[in-house]
């Protein structure tokens, strides 16, 4: 089985389902709560592993009550945790998440141990990383580590995917240009380019700004509007969304990235992988939670069969 490395974050998600956000000074009752393993890197790793990829995770946990649970959670999906290490006297990353009645989420992240994932951790994992087909990166760990991972991937001819989430305006686009895939959502694209992204035309124009700066591929995930792939050669593909009744969109972007990575590594076919990723992300929003909402391969295949066109 071809393998994937995710070099990135893990968090403990504290998800409150709300009627509305409290005003300043107000205490407000919310109907329900769920705690689960999350973090953009971890979610992407779990999504790919649930579909059958062989995944190695390079990440940092704290030395608190969450750390062992996070490691056990990775292992329960068969993810290699040799390079998930503890940072002493530090909390694990945590993410209070608020989901409103329209199923949309607002997320705070407290990075904790994720801040301590450094280039030296990539060096420690180098022999394992050299054997993978794809390295997957996000921005919940220090930028210097992300840049170093891109250099590592380029040096060893490994494909690399950067999901610039959460958007960091100071991201050096030169590094993004050294990635095989750059996959923001429309909000991240707006922050990076500073242009409006309300319509598909505006999204296309904003994406072209990055292509003009040297990106080879950009896939913009558009939630309920699908996803848009543009290449430096001028080709374009809009993948339609799968219509579902959403109850919680948390972790849907990560579901897309993890699923895309799995199918791209197996097939090398971007369009096919985007279509699969759209379906997997659509399924994820029909359940509450982040990783909890990702279907098993059997559930996914059944859903994919129903929605095949
Ligand atoms: O993308 C969703 C994720 O963002 C959550 O799991 C949360 O932990 C934050 O990292």
The residue contributing the CA closest to ligand 1 atom 7 is 39
How many CA atoms does the CB half-sphere of 210 hold within 13 Å?
35
Which residues are part of the catalytic machinery? 254
Task: Determine if ligand 1 sits within 6 Å of the CB of residue 188.
Answer: no
What confidence tier does 2 reach under pLDDT thresholds 50, 70, 90? confident
Distance 235 CA to ligand 1 centre (A): 31
Q: Which of 44, 66, 91, 95 to mutate to test the pocket of ligand 1 (most atoms within 8 A of CB)?
A: 95
pLDDT at 149: 98
Cβ neighbours around 258 below 10 Å, total = 34
The atom of ligand 1 lying closest to the CA of 43 is: 6
Q: What is the pLDDT of residues 35-76, one digit of tens each?
A: 999 999 999 999 999 999 999 999 999 999 999 999 999 999
Task: Determine if ligand 1 sits within 6 Å of the CB of residue 95.
Answer: yes
pLDDT at 17: 96
Task: Determine if ligand 1 sits within 6 Å of the CB of residue 133.
Answer: no
As a whole number, mean pLDDT of residues 152-165 equals 98
Q: Which of 254, 281, 287, 293 to mutate to test the pocket of ligand 1 (most atoms within 8 A of CB)?
A: 254
Q: Which of 10, 34, 97 to mutate to test the pocket of ligand 1 (most atoms within 8 A of CB)?
A: 97
Q: Is the whole model's pTM more than 0.85, yes or no?
A: yes
pLDDT at 228: 98
Q: What is the pLDDT of residues 83-140, one digit of tens each?
A: 999 999 999 999 999 999 999 999 999 999 999 999 999 999 999 999 999 999 999 9
Cβ neighbours around 170 below 10 Å, total = 5
pLDDT at 309: 61
- 3-state SS, residue 176: helix
The residue contributing the CA closest to ligand 1 atom 9 is 39
What confidence tier does 160 reach under pLDDT thresholds 50, 70, 90? very high
Task: Determine if ligand 1 sits within 6 Å of the CB of residue 109.
Answer: yes
What confidence tier does 163 reach under pLDDT thresholds 50, 70, 90? very high
Q: CA-to-CA distance for 182 and 174, rounded, in angstroms?
A: 12
Nearest to 10 by CA among 79, 76, 84: 84
Distance 118 CA to ligand 1 centre (A): 20
The residue contributing the CA closest to ligand 1 atom 8 is 39
As a whole number, mean pLDDT of residues 282-308 equals 94
Q: What is the pLDDT of residues 235-290, one digit of tens each?
A: 999 999 999 999 999 999 999 999 999 999 999 999 999 999 999 999 999 999 99
As a whole number, mean pLDDT of residues 162-174 equals 96
CA-CA distances (angstroms) from residue 71 to 33, 107, 224? 23, 22, 33
pLDDT at 306: 86
Distance 309 CA to ligand 1 centre (A): 31
| Cα radius of gyration rounded to whole Å, the chain | 18
Is the confidence at residue 307, as pLDDT, over 90? Answer: no
pLDDT at 200: 95
What confidence tier does 1 reach under pLDDT thresholds 50, 70, 90? low
As a whole number, mean pLDDT of residues 203-222 equals 96
Task: Determine if ligand 1 sits within 6 Å of the CB of residue 11.
Answer: yes
Distance 234 CA to ligand 1 centre (A): 32
Is the confidence at residue 202, as pLDDT, over 70? Answer: yes
Distance 247 CA to ligand 1 centre (A): 16
What confidence tier does 218 reach under pLDDT thresholds 50, 70, 90? very high
The separation between CA 73 and the C-alpha centre of its own chain, rounded to angstroms, equals: 17
Nearest to 53 by CA among 219, 256, 206, 266: 266
How many CA atoms does the CB half-sphere of 250 hold within 13 Å?
30
Query: Mind listing the domains of the chain with CATH numbers?
Result: 3-9+40-59+117-307 (3.40.1190.20)
Distance 251 CA to ligand 1 centre (A): 6
The residue contributing the CA closest to ligand 1 atom 10 is 39
The atom of ligand 1 lying closest to the CA of 105 is: 2
């Amino acid at each position: 089985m071809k393998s994937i490395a995710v070099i990135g974050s893990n968090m403990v998600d504290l998800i409150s389902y709300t009627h509305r956000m409290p005003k300043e000074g107000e205490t407000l009752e919310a109907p329900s709560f769920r705690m689960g393993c999350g973090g953009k890197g971890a979610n992407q790793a779990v999504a790919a592993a649930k579909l059958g990829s062989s995944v190695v995770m390079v990440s940092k946990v704290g030395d608190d009550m969450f750390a062992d649970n996070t490691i056990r959670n990775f292992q329960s999906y068969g993810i290699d945790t040799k390079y998930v290490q503890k940072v002493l006297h530090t909390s694990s990353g945590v993410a209070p998440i608020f989901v409103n009645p329209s199923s949309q989420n607002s997320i705070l992240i407290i990075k904790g141990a994720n801040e301590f994932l450094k280039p030296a951790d990539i060096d420690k994992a180098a022999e394992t990383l050299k054997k993978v087909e794809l390295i997957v990166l996000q921005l919940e760990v220090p930028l210097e580590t992300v840049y170093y991972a891109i250099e590592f991937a380029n040096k060893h001819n490994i494909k690399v995917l950067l999901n610039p989430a959460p958007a960091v305006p100071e991201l050096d686009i030169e590094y993004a240009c050294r990635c095989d895939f750059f996959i923001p959502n429309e909000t991240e694209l707006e922050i990076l380019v500073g242009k409006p992204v309300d319509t598909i035309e505006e999204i296309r124009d904003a994406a072209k700004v990055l292509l003009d700066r040297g990106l080879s591929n950009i896939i913009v995930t558009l939630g309920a509007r699908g996803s848009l792939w543009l290449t430096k050669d001028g080709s374009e593909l809009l993948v339609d969304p799968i219509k579902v009744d959403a109850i919680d969109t948390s972790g849907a972007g990560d579901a897309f990235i993890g699923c895309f990575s799995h199918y791209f590594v197996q097939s090398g076919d971007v369009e096919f992988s985007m279509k699969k990723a759209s379906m997997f992300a659509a399924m994820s929003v029909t359940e509450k939670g982040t990783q909890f909402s990702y279907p098993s391969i059997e559930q996914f295949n059944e859903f994919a069969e129903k929605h095949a066109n």
